[in-house]
Amino acid sequence: MLHPIKNEEQYEIALARVYALMQATLTDDSPEADELEVLSILLKDYENKHYPIPKPEPLEAIKFRLEQMNMSEADLSDILGYRSRKSEILSGKRKLNLAMIRKLVDRLQIPADILIKAY
Protein backbone atom coordinates (compact mmCIF):
# COMPACT_ATOMS: atom_id res chain seq x y z
CA MET A 1 0.00 0.00 0.00
CA LEU A 2 1.31 3.43 -0.89
CA HIS A 3 1.65 6.07 1.80
CA PRO A 4 3.44 9.41 2.28
CA ILE A 5 7.21 9.22 2.64
CA LYS A 6 8.07 10.48 6.12
CA ASN A 7 11.69 9.52 6.73
CA GLU A 8 14.95 8.60 5.04
CA GLU A 9 14.38 4.86 5.35
CA GLN A 10 11.02 5.07 3.58
CA TYR A 11 12.63 7.34 1.00
CA GLU A 12 15.34 4.76 0.23
CA ILE A 13 12.77 1.96 -0.03
CA ALA A 14 10.65 4.05 -2.42
CA LEU A 15 13.72 4.85 -4.55
CA ALA A 16 14.58 1.17 -4.80
CA ARG A 17 11.02 0.34 -5.83
CA VAL A 18 10.98 3.08 -8.47
CA TYR A 19 14.27 1.78 -9.83
CA ALA A 20 12.88 -1.74 -10.04
CA LEU A 21 9.72 -0.53 -11.77
CA MET A 22 11.74 1.52 -14.24
CA GLN A 23 13.72 -1.58 -15.22
CA ALA A 24 10.52 -3.47 -16.07
CA THR A 25 8.58 -3.18 -19.29
CA LEU A 26 5.32 -1.59 -18.22
CA THR A 27 2.19 -0.84 -20.17
CA ASP A 28 0.50 2.51 -19.59
CA ASP A 29 -2.61 1.04 -18.03
CA SER A 30 -0.95 -1.46 -15.71
CA PRO A 31 -1.12 -1.27 -11.89
CA GLU A 32 2.69 -1.13 -11.84
CA ALA A 33 2.68 1.94 -14.11
CA ASP A 34 0.22 3.61 -11.74
CA GLU A 35 2.40 2.66 -8.79
CA LEU A 36 5.44 4.17 -10.52
CA GLU A 37 3.58 7.41 -11.17
CA VAL A 38 2.33 7.73 -7.59
CA LEU A 39 5.71 6.83 -6.10
CA SER A 40 7.36 9.44 -8.33
CA ILE A 41 4.99 12.10 -7.00
CA LEU A 42 5.63 11.06 -3.41
CA LEU A 43 9.40 11.08 -3.95
CA LYS A 44 9.29 14.50 -5.56
CA ASP A 45 7.33 15.87 -2.62
CA TYR A 46 9.79 14.41 -0.11
CA GLU A 47 12.79 15.71 -2.07
CA ASN A 48 11.31 19.20 -2.36
CA LYS A 49 10.89 19.31 1.41
CA HIS A 50 14.19 17.70 2.45
CA TYR A 51 16.56 18.45 -0.44
CA PRO A 52 15.41 21.78 -1.88
CA ILE A 53 17.37 23.14 -4.81
CA PRO A 54 17.99 26.87 -4.38
CA LYS A 55 17.09 29.13 -7.27
CA PRO A 56 20.11 30.40 -9.20
CA GLU A 57 21.45 33.92 -8.98
CA PRO A 58 20.27 36.13 -11.87
CA LEU A 59 23.67 36.40 -13.56
CA GLU A 60 24.29 32.66 -13.28
CA ALA A 61 20.87 31.99 -14.82
CA ILE A 62 21.56 34.32 -17.74
CA LYS A 63 24.96 32.78 -18.47
CA PHE A 64 23.60 29.25 -18.14
CA ARG A 65 20.66 29.95 -20.43
CA LEU A 66 22.90 31.57 -23.04
CA GLU A 67 25.06 28.45 -22.99
CA GLN A 68 22.01 26.17 -23.23
CA MET A 69 20.74 28.06 -26.24
CA ASN A 70 24.19 28.14 -27.90
CA MET A 71 24.17 31.92 -27.73
CA SER A 72 27.13 34.20 -27.13
CA GLU A 73 27.49 37.26 -24.96
CA ALA A 74 27.19 39.26 -28.17
CA ASP A 75 23.68 37.84 -28.53
CA LEU A 76 22.95 39.17 -25.05
CA SER A 77 23.97 42.63 -26.30
CA ASP A 78 21.39 42.27 -29.07
CA ILE A 79 18.72 41.32 -26.54
CA LEU A 80 19.51 44.17 -24.16
CA GLY A 81 20.19 46.69 -26.92
CA TYR A 82 23.54 48.01 -25.71
CA ARG A 83 26.96 46.39 -25.97
CA SER A 84 28.32 48.23 -22.91
CA ARG A 85 25.30 47.27 -20.81
CA LYS A 86 26.00 43.60 -21.39
CA SER A 87 29.49 43.95 -19.91
CA GLU A 88 28.28 46.01 -16.97
CA ILE A 89 25.49 43.56 -16.21
CA LEU A 90 27.61 40.41 -16.44
CA SER A 91 30.30 42.01 -14.27
CA GLY A 92 27.70 43.03 -11.67
CA LYS A 93 28.36 46.77 -12.06
CA ARG A 94 24.87 47.44 -13.35
CA LYS A 95 21.64 45.90 -12.11
CA LEU A 96 18.92 44.64 -14.40
CA ASN A 97 16.06 47.08 -14.90
CA LEU A 98 12.45 46.16 -15.59
CA ALA A 99 12.74 46.56 -19.36
CA MET A 100 15.81 44.29 -19.43
CA ILE A 101 14.07 41.68 -17.28
CA ARG A 102 11.09 41.68 -19.64
CA LYS A 103 13.37 41.17 -22.64
CA LEU A 104 15.25 38.35 -20.91
CA VAL A 105 12.04 36.63 -19.88
CA ASP A 106 10.76 36.85 -23.43
CA ARG A 107 13.91 35.89 -25.32
CA LEU A 108 15.70 33.55 -22.90
CA GLN A 109 12.62 32.12 -21.17
CA ILE A 110 14.12 32.74 -17.71
CA PRO A 111 11.40 33.09 -15.04
CA ALA A 112 11.06 36.68 -13.83
CA ASP A 113 11.24 35.62 -10.15
CA ILE A 114 14.83 34.52 -10.75
CA LEU A 115 15.82 37.73 -12.54
CA ILE A 116 14.37 40.03 -9.87
CA LYS A 117 16.35 38.45 -7.03
CA ALA A 118 18.83 40.75 -5.32
CA TYR A 119 22.45 40.14 -6.28
| Segment 43-97, tens digit of pLDDT | 999 999 999 999 899 999 999 999 999 998 889 988 887 777 888 888 888 899 9
Q: Given this model, what pLDDT does residue 5 score?
A: 96
Q: Given this model, what pLDDT does residue 119 score?
A: 83
Task: Enumerate domains of the chain plus CATH numbers.
Answer: 8-50 (no CATH), 58-115 (1.10.260.40)
User: Alpha-carbon torsion 6, 11, 13, 18, what sign?
Assistant: positive
- State the pTM of this model: 0.63
